[in-house]
Amino acid sequence: MSSFTLDKERNPAIIILDFGSQYSELIARRIRETQVYSLVMSYMTSAEELKELGPKGIILSGGPSSVYESGAPLCDPGIWELGIPILGVCYGMQLMVHQLGGVVNAATGKAEYGKAPLEVDDSTSLLRTLMNGSTMWMSHGDSVESLPQDFTSLAHTNSTPNAAIACHRRSLYGVQFHPEVVHSLGGMSLIRNFVYDICKCEPNWTTNTFIDEAISQVQNQVGDKRVLLALSGGVDSSTLAFLLNKAIGNQLTCMFIDQGFMRKGEPEFLMKFFDDKFHINVQYINARQRFISKLKGIVDPEKKRKIIGNEFIRVFEEESARLGPFDYLAQGTLYPDVIESSGTNIDPKTGDRIAVKIKSHHNVGGLPKDLQFKLVEPLKKLFKDEVRKVGQSLGLPDEIVRRHPFPGPGLAIRILGEVTDEKLTCLRDADLIVREEIRRSGLYHDVWQAFAVLLPVYSVGVMGDQRTYAWPIVLRCVSSEDGMTADWSRIPYETLERISNRIVNEVHGVNRVVLDITSKPPGTIEWE
Ligand code: XMP
């Protein structure tokens, strides 16, 4: 399977063997949180290869299979003899039991999903720091019926007698729950016990270590060739621009395509910031006219997104040919983007994950897969908050590192119906007021996104002695962890009042402000 290019100088302290769990990279991320270098590898990695890499510990991930079914992914039995501490998580624990002579069964009537309090029976090792009754996240249909020789049970739950197991003599451990997910309250503590107490790892993996190694990997990968990056001004592409600038300097060309749907002052801000201040080579492409003329008369949200997406690709192709040739395309792909594009099923022949289609709307603003470039994706294994830390360490200011997400199609999907220059001006002005007032109230970092939406309907109002007949602006403020689910933010009345007064008084064409109080689901964050 594709994994991080191995750095010859540094071997991973913890290797995670991936059996197809959606959480494999999350385990790696948790290990990084303990400042220990870890790497996810295919479950097919042989004991010989592992021995050569010399990790201090091995973690076997969960997975969707049942160990006793034919075709279930099994590991090289040689790994049990390596003398390296091993922690099996869920499927990983069942595999350990199965291969070492215990019994795993379909737990008829005993499947356990969701939170369960863990009753600790032996707190001498893996569970040393865990409180009795710690909530752990369970997700299993199968259960361990009987333990292999030399193993003991460390903990149980109401429906799982062997919720954590160990063979102390051989430093083999297994947990039926998922310590890596946030819902498992003592999870990080358990992971620390494994990493530090059992595997004796040193905390020496930091954001700066990541940056240094990513830089040398990029240098090795691209040599003296030219690299193109489509810069959007979001955290991911901005962090990438800084990283690549440090790695390859003027072999990097950034292309910033202004489709005309950016927030007020944004193109000017970005050019000033990257080009003037940091001397990163950014080519500004003014494509405003192209995009808006393509949207003339278009009201359907999906059509709008498709047109914008296609036009983006066309502009990108033309401009990269003009500025090129380039050998490499750099992309700010993050781990959550990768997981969306790969399934949890594993090809039994190659160990590769079987790809599934990405949700269509998050592709908008992205590039097609068949471009003639080789890809440079140094952030591919990171989660969003890790990218923020990398950005910060590289010297990106808070203004960029902690900015709210902004969709690829921009304000075009916040103007319902046809997009016109007049509506864009109106929405830009309203949006600026929302941002200013949310910042002024000190709420900017408490909310996930705060923005304005323009509705193409008219309502009656009165200003002075004049009757008005104008558009309403919707105020959309949400709190969220990852954008997948969201709740509407409880903004104080005083802030709402200031936003409403200012928008109605200062924005030409608007006479009413309404508040969106819909969570996601059932609503989405964006209106189109
Ligand atoms: P929804 O509206 O689906 O949005 O609840 C979830 C998150 O995704 C952002 N979003 C997009 N981001 N291209 C992007 O890069 C898009 O086409 C797109 N559509 C929605 C949205 O702002 C929110 O953070």
Dihedral (CA of 427, 428, 431, 432) sign: negative
Residue 187 shares a structural domain with residue 250:
no
CA angle, residues 41, 44, 49, in degrees to nearest 5: 70
Alpha-carbon torsion (149, 153, 154, 160), positive or negative: positive
Quote the ligand 1 centre to 355 CA distance (angstroms).
22
147, 168, 198: which is the final residue of a domain? 198
3-state DSSP call for residue 165?
A: strand
Contacts of 403 (CB under 8 A, 6+ apart): 234, 235
CA of 400 to the centre of ligand 1 (A): 18
Q: Is 409 in the pocket of ligand 1 (CB under 6 A)?
A: yes
Tell the residue nearest (CA) to atom 21 of ligand 1: 407
Q: Which helix (H) or strand (E) holds 163?
A: none
Domain with 501, as residue range(s), is 414-515
Atom number of ligand 1 nearest to Cα 405? 24
Instruction: Locate the ligand 1 atom nearest the alpha carbon of residue 526 and give its number.
Output: 2
- In whole angstroms, give the CA distance from residue 135 to residue 122: 17
Q: From the candidates 25, 75, 90, 254, give the one annotated as an active-site residue.
A: 90
Give, for all 528 residues of the chain, the pLDDT tens digit.
Answer: 333 344 444 678 999 999 998 889 899 999 999 999 998 999 999 999 999 999 999 999 999 899 999 999 999 999 999 999 999 999 999 999 999 999 998 865 566 778 889 999 999 999 999 999 999 998 878 889 999 999 999 999 988 999 999 999 999 999 999 999 988 889 999 999 999 999 999 999 899 999 999 999 999 999 999 999 999 999 999 999 999 999 999 999 999 999 999 999 999 999 999 988 999 999 999 999 999 999 999 999 999 999 999 999 999 999 999 998 999 999 988 876 665 555 555 555 555 544 333 333 444 346 666 677 899 999 988 888 889 999 999 999 998 999 999 999 999 999 999 999 999 999 999 999 999 999 999 999 999 999 999 999 999 999 988 999 999 999 999 999 878 889 999 999 999 999 999 999 999 999 999 999 999 889 999 999
Examine the residue annotation and report whether 178 is marked as an active-site residue of this protein: yes
Identify whether residues 442 and 375 lie together within a single domain: no
CATH number at residue 283: 3.40.50.620
User: Are 388 and 342 contacting, i.e. CB atoms less than 8 angstroms apart?
Assistant: no
- Ligand 1 centroid–CA 521 distance in Å is 14
Q: For ligand 1, is residue 483 a contact (CB within 6 Å)? A: yes
- The answer, yes or no, to whether any atom of ligand 1 lies below 6 A from the CB of 384, is no
Whether residue 392 is found in the same domain as residue 450: no
Question: Are 434 and 459 contained in the same domain?
Answer: yes
Q: Does residue 527 sit within a domain?
A: no
**DSSP bridge pairs for 346:** 353
Q: Are residue 390 and residue 420 in the same domain, yes or no?
A: no
Pseudo-torsion of CA 91, 92, 98, 99, nearest 10°? 150
- Total domains in the chain come to 3
- Among candidate residues 25, 112, 180, 437, the one labeled active-site is 180
In a domain, 393, yes or no: yes
Nearest CA to ligand 1 atom 3: 524
Contact call for residues 451 and 486 (beta carbons, < 8 A) = no
Q: Indicate if 454 and 391 belong to the same structural domain.
A: no
One domain, residues 265 and 379: yes
What atom of ligand 1 comes closest to residue 480's alpha carbon?
24
Residues 213, 193 share a domain: no
For ligand 1, the distance from its centroid to the CA atom of residue 407, given in whole angstroms, is 5
Closest atom of ligand 1 to CA, residue 527? 2
CATH code, 502: 3.30.300.10
408 located within any domain: no
Cα–Cα distance measured from residue 355 to residue 347, given in angstroms and rounded to the nearest whole number: 10
Question: For ligand 1, is residue 525 a contact (CB within 6 Å)?
Answer: yes
Which residue among 157, 176, 198 closes a domain? 198
- State phi, psi for 467 to the nearest 5 degrees: -80, 135
Q: Are residues 389 and 313 in the same domain?
A: yes
Closest to 250 in 3D by CA, of 221, 218, 284, 226: 226
Q: Which of 161, 178, 198 is the last residue of a domain?
A: 198
- Residue 133, classified by CB atoms within 10 Å of its CB into exposed (0-12), middle (13-18) or buried (19+), is exposed
Residue 120 forms part of a structural domain: yes
Contact (CB, 8 A) for 214 and 243: yes
Ligand 1 centre from 484 Cα, in Å? 9
Helix (H, G, I), strand (E, B) or coil at 405: coil
Q: Of the residues 307, 358, 361, 478, which should be mutated to test ligand 1's pocket, given the most ligand atoms within 8 Å of the CB? A: 361
Can you say whether residue 72 is alpha, beta or left, with left for phi > 0 and alpha for psi between -120 and 50 degrees?
beta
222 and 332 assigned to the same domain: yes
- Nearest residue (by CA) to ligand 1, atom 12, is 407
CA distances to 21, 119, 471, 482 from 422, rounded to whole Å, are 49, 64, 12, 33
Q: Which residues fall within 8 angstroms of residue 427, CB to CB, at 6 or more apart?
A: 411, 414, 415, 452, 453, 454, 473
384, 418: one domain: no
Query: Same domain for 93 and 242?
Result: no
Residue 524 lies in a domain: no
